[in-house]
Structure 1
Amino acid sequence: MFRTNVGGIDRMLRIVVGLALLAGFFLDTDASWRWAYLIGIVPLFTGLFGTCPAYSLLGLNTCPMKKG
């Protein structure tokens, strides 16, 4: 369905940031802003699957194997 458009370093950063945000969801005790950490699902999934819908819309590609 989607083409791979997220490269190696980009993928790793997305996964690390996504996991860090989700860890914040479970570790933060302030109930008023706790839900905001769930935004970490987006970079985690885009990193794991190697595709970013926003990159597709903008015509970007950081995957060296898929350029051209």
Structure 2
Amino acid sequence: MARQCELCKKTTRTAVKLKKLRGKYNPTQKKRQKPNLKKIEIDKGIKIRVCMKCAKTLAKNNVKLPS
């Protein structure tokens, strides 16, 4: 199972990490940014993996989340 939100399909991204030395930016390796995922239970026994942005939206719309 991939590290992916099941609602909005948010997944890992690659970002360039810049290092400044003597006023110039030098190329460095790419880093992987992962989404902040959390398993929540929607109905009895049904658990899904969602990002925190979607979890906050579900909580705002009165979907019960475990505390």
Question: Is the structural similarity TM-score above 0.5?
Answer: no
TM-score (norm 2): 0.30
Which structure features the higher share of strand residues?
Answer: 2
TM-score (norm 1): 0.30
Larger radius of gyration: 2
Which structure features the higher share of helix residues?
Answer: 1
Identify the structure with bigger relative contact order (alpha carbons < 8 Å, sequence gap 6+).
1
